[in-house]
Structure 1
Amino acid sequence: MAVNEGDFIKLRFTGSYDDVVFDTTEEEKAREEGLYNEKKTYGPIIVRVGGNHIIPGLDEALQGKEVGESGTVEVPPEKGYGAHDESLLKSAPLKNFAQKPVVGTRISSEGQDGTVVNIIGKRAVIDFNHPLAGRTLTYEYTIDGIVEEPIEKVKGLIELYTGKNMDVELNEGILTIILPPGINYDQRWMMARGMLIHQTFEFIPEIMEIILKESYKRPAPVEEPVVEAEEPEAPVVEDAPVSEEQNE
C-alpha cells in the first residue's frame, strides 16, 4: 500500500549531519550516540503526511512510498531548518548573565532561544538561529504502517505535541481526553492545546466534539503505624549460694 498525502503513518527515523546523529526514534541508537533521554518515549511516532509534523524534505520523501519501505533522504537547508541568518547573531555583556556563560550555553531572551557560540572579551556572541539552520541533513527512515483508527490518530497527535501519553475515549463522535492532574501547570501543554484541538477537527472528521476532562481523587488517608508495647522482661534471679549448713 502506497503512502499518500493526508495519511497518518507510523514512522521510525534517525536524523544526522556530517555523521553526527541529532535525533532518533530508536532507543538503542539514542544510547549509542549519547542522546538517550529517560523522559522520552522511544519507538515509532504517528504523523500525518503533509501535516507539517516533520520537516518538509522528509515529509515530501515519504509520499508515494510503500508501507514497510525503508530509505535514506538528504534534506537541503531550504527544506529543513532554513539558511543560517547572520542577522540573528547578537552579542551581550557577560554581566547580563546570572552565571558566567561558556560556548554551548543555551539561553532564552525575549521569547527566542539561542546558543552562545563565542566569548570575545567581556561579551558573549549568541546565535538565535535554529541549531540545525544552514545544514544539509540526512534521514534514514522506515514506514511501519498506516493508522486508520481515529482514536489512534488522536493519541499520536497528543504525543507529538505534548510528549505525553493520555487516556482518551471516543463515543459517538465525542472525544474525551483524560488530562493528568496538574497538566494546566505544564507550559508545553498550554502552548500545544489549541493546535491539538484545531488539528483534531481538521484531520479527523469522525470527531465532532472534544471534552478535556481533569479529575482528582481524594488521597488515601495515611494510617499511623501501630506500635505494640513491649512487655517488660522478667528480672533474672540468680541462684543464691548454698552454705555448708544448708547442705547438712
Structure 2
Amino acid sequence: MALQEGDFIRLRYTGRVGENIFDTTDEENAKEEGIYNPRAEYGPVTVRLGSHHVIIGLEDELIGKDVGAEGEVDVPPEKAFGAHEEDGVRSVPVTQFREKPKRGTRIEVEGREGVVVDVIGRRAVVDFNHPLAGKTLNYSYAILEKVEDPVEQIKGLIKLFSGRTDIEISIADGVAELALPPAIAYDRRWMVWRGTLVREIFENYPDINDVVMKETVSRPATPETAPEITEIEETEESEE
C-alpha cells in the first residue's frame, strides 16, 4: 500500500551536493567523506511523513511510494534550504569578534549564525544564509519499513530530535511516561528539543492526555570493605 501523510517509516538516506556528502544515516559513508561525528547516532531514522522531519523535496518523493522502495531524487533550492538571499550577507565590524576573524569562521550575531566569507579592512563580511541555500541537492534513499507501534514511533522521534536512544517509554490509560536517565538536564540538545517532542506527541496521538517525564537517580552502591591484612611476625625458625 502506498505511503501517505501521517505514516511513520524507517528511512535510510544520503544527501549530496555534487559529489560531496553533507548528510547521511550511514556511518561508513560519513567516515569515508570525513564528516563522521563520534557523538552522533547513525543508522536508519524514524520519521512521520507530513511533519517535515526531512526536507520537503525528499518528503514529497517518499509520499506515494511503497515500503521497500529505493531511489534517488534531485531537490531544487525552493524545496530544500531556499534561495541564497543577498540581504542575508552583512558587514560586521571586526571589533565585535573576540579574536581576529578569518574566512570560514562561524559566528553568532543577535541570535543568528553565520560564516565569515571575507575580511575587508576593519569589517568582516558574514553570510547568514544556510550553507546549502541556493543549492540543488541529491538524495539517495531506501524505505525500510512502516512503523506501526506508537512506542517505537515515539522512540524514533526522540532519536531524531535529540539523538538519544536510552529513554524508555510506556503508554497506558492516556499517559505516556518517559523514563529519563540521570543527569539528562545537562544534555543541551535534549533540553532544546523536548518541547517539540511533547508538542508532536499531543498532535499525533489524540488518546494521550499527559506526558510524564520521570528521572530516577539510584543510591550509589556501597563500596565493599577491603579485608584487613594482619602482619605475621617472623619466628626464629623462619629466620634460620
Question: What TM-score does the superposition give when structure 2 sets the normalisation length?
Answer: 0.91
Distance 1:231 1:87 in 2: 85
Deviations 1:119-148 (A, max 9, x none): 222322111111111111000011001000
- For the pair shown, the structure with the greater C-alpha radius of gyration is 1
Q: Which residue number corresponds to residue 72 of structure 1?
A: 72
Deviations 1:196-228 (A, max 9, x none): 111112112343321111121122234565573
Distance 2:54 2:46 in 1: 11
What residue ranges of structure 1 are gaps of 5+ in the alignment?
Answer: 239-248
Structure 2 residue matching 1:101: 3-state secondary structure: coil
Residue 116 (str. 1) matches residue 127 (str. 2):
no
Letter in 1 for 2:209: M
Q: Which residue number corresponds to residue 204 of structure 2?
A: 203
Letter in 1 for 2:186: Y
**8 Å Cα contact 1:12/1:25 also seen in 2:** yes
Distance 1:35 1:232 in 2: 65
Q: Which residue number corresponds to residue 244 of structure 1?
A: none
Identity of aligned residues (%): 49
Q: Which residue number corresponds to residue 191 of structure 1?
A: 192
Letter in 2 for 1:175: A
Distance 2:129 2:90 in 1: 10
Please report how far the alpha carbon of residue 94 of structure 1 lies from its aligned counterpart in structure 2 after TM superposition.
2.8
Q: Which residue number corresponds to residue 62 of structure 1?
A: 62
Please report how far the alpha carbon of residue 179 of structure 1 lies from its aligned counterpart in structure 2 after TM superposition.
1.6
**8 Å Cα contact 1:173/1:209 also seen in 2:** yes
Q: Equivalences for 1:116-195 in 2 at 5 Å?
A: 116-165=116-165, 166-195=167-196
Distance 1:86 1:219 in 2: 57
Question: What TM-score does the superposition give when structure 1 sets the normalisation length?
Answer: 0.88
Structure 2 residue matching 1:155: 3-state secondary structure: helix
- CA 1:225–1:96 in structure 2 vs 1: closer, same or farther (change >3 Å)? farther
Distance 1:14 1:2 in 2: 22
Q: Name the count of aligned residue pairs.
A: 238
Q: Which residue number corresponds to residue 88 of structure 1?
A: 88
Distance 1:12 1:81 in 2: 20
Distance 1:202 1:185 in 2: 27
Distance 1:233 1:58 in 2: 82
Structure 2 residue matching 1:67: 3-state secondary structure: coil
Letter in 2 for 1:104: G
Q: Which residue number corresponds to residue 22 of structure 1?
A: 22
